[in-house]
């Protein structure tokens, strides 16, 4: 009946194959084949020999699993591990939910005339540029004027929380990587995976692990996606510190600690800050996608635009995101300029 019958017959496995004959429902292919009414075996020449995939082999030998069993097996494995994982992950990640919920509550319940000046003060503190402050003010007022203030602030506060955590976790990981080649060899493949995995794919296991009503779900997705550049650039920055200067630090008897905080980190700071800039930009990209799993903010409006074909809503929210991106980029770059020790003044 099937193409590979011969193989199992010659190997003398026929009995083993037919032990539980006829088990399980048909695959879609079989069903289609039957409804077409063709007698498969007769029509097949050697030219049409199918690839010996699991499904094809299953036709010849019932004891072999079908591809759908693999998919199902993986799913069941994941579901079986889920409860165990949750016991560990839930308490560890719970503070993330609190942080996100807390910051969202804070920005939405503090009046705009407190939040906006506060933001502008922060911008001035890190950039020392009044022109930039004016630009940021203009952008925020424009967004607020078209009633996108709440959404924009939600997006911003999620980015702040996630980028802050990325730096908090990423910089130490990057430092560890720069100090140990073994650590680097172990970490780089993970970073590569995180960076190449399509953002949507992150969401799949997370949806199973956590309830969609929990904010940590999108928090984790954003952090995983955005943490990569800050780790990579911290490692790079520290490895790039002039070896002569490090040697001088050794020659004058600095301890590892003095060397790290007195020499390596200060000299790597411009590179680390470039990583922070990238991390913030990637958080912004992910926060939009994360609106699929209930992240509030401008992303929700974009999603609404797509779902309901409300072209205007989507476009305006999209432009709002562009504005936020420009603001974040300018402000981090300006602060980067300011701390760069190579610049002359």
Binding site for other proteins (CB under 8 A): 242, 244-245, 247-255, 258, 262-263, 266-267, 341-342, 344
Helix (H, G, I), strand (E, B) or coil at 183: helix
Nearer to other proteins by C-beta: 147 or 342? 342
Q: Which residues contact 271 (CB under 8 A, 6 or more apart)?
A: 233, 234, 236, 237, 240
On the CB side of 5, how many CA atoms lie within 13 Å of its CA?
A: 5
Minimum Å gap between C-beta 254 and other proteins is 5
For residue 203, give both structure tokens. 């969401």
Q: Could you give the CA distance from residue 324 to residue 258 in angstroms, rounded to a whole number? A: 38
Asked if 334 and 127 count as a contact pair (C-beta separation under 8 A), the reply is yes
Minimum Å gap between C-beta 215 and other proteins is 39
Q: Could you give the CA distance from residue 13 to residue 8 in angstroms, rounded to a whole number? A: 5
Minimum Å gap between C-beta 309 and other proteins is 55
Q: Could you give the CA distance from residue 92 to residue 53 in angstroms, rounded to a whole number? A: 42
Q: What are phi and psi of 203, to 5 degrees?
A: -70, -30
Minimum Å gap between C-beta 256 and other proteins is 10
Asked if 142 and 149 count as a contact pair (C-beta separation under 8 A), the reply is no
Minimum Å gap between C-beta 175 and other proteins is 17
Nearer to other proteins by C-beta: 283 or 335? 335
Minimum Å gap between C-beta 340 and other proteins is 10
């Amino acid at each position: 009946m099937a193409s590979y019958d011969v193989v199992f017959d010659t190997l003398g496995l026929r009995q083993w194959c037919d032990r539980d004959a006829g088990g399980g429902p048909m695959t879609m292919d079989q069903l289609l084949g039957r409804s077409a009414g063709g007698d498969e075996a007769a029509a097949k020449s050697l030219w049409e020999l199918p690839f010996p995939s699991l499904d094809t082999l299953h036709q010849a030998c019932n004891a072999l699993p079908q591809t759908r069993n693999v998919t199902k097996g993986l799913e069941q494995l994941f579901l079986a591990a889920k409860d165990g994982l949750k016991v560990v992950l839930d308490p560890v990640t719970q503070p993330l939910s609190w942080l996100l919920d807390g910051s969202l509550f804070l920005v939405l319940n503090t009046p705009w005339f407190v939040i906006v000046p506060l933001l502008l003060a922060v911008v001035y503190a890190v950039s020392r540029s009044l022109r930039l402050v004016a630009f940021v003010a203009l952008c925020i007022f424009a967004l607020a004027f078209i009633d996108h203030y709440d959404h924009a602030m939600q997006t911003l506060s999620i980015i702040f929380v996630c980028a802050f955590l990325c730096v908090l976790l990423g910089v130490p990981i990057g430092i560890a990587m720069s100090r140990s080649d073994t650590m680097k060899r172990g970490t780089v493949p993970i970073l590569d995976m995180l960076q190449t995995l399509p953002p949507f794919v992150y969401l799949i296991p997370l949806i199973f692990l956590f309830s969609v009503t929990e904010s940590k779900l999108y928090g984790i997705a954003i952090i995983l996606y955005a943490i990569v550049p800050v780790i990579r650039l911290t490692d790079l920055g520290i490895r790039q510190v002039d070896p002569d200067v490090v040697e001088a630090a050794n020659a004058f008897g600095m301890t590892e600690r003095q060397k790290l905080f007195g020499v390596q980190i200060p000299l790597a700071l411009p590179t680390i800050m470039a990583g922070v800039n990238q991390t913030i930009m990637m958080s912004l990209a992910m926060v939009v996608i994360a609106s699929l799993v209930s992240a509030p903010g401008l992303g929700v409006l974009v999603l609404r635009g797509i779902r309901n074909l409300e072209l205007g809503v989507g476009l305006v929210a999209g432009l709002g995101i562009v504005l936020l991106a420009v603001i974040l980029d300018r402000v981090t770059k300006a602060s980067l300029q300011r701390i760069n020790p190579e610049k002359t003044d």
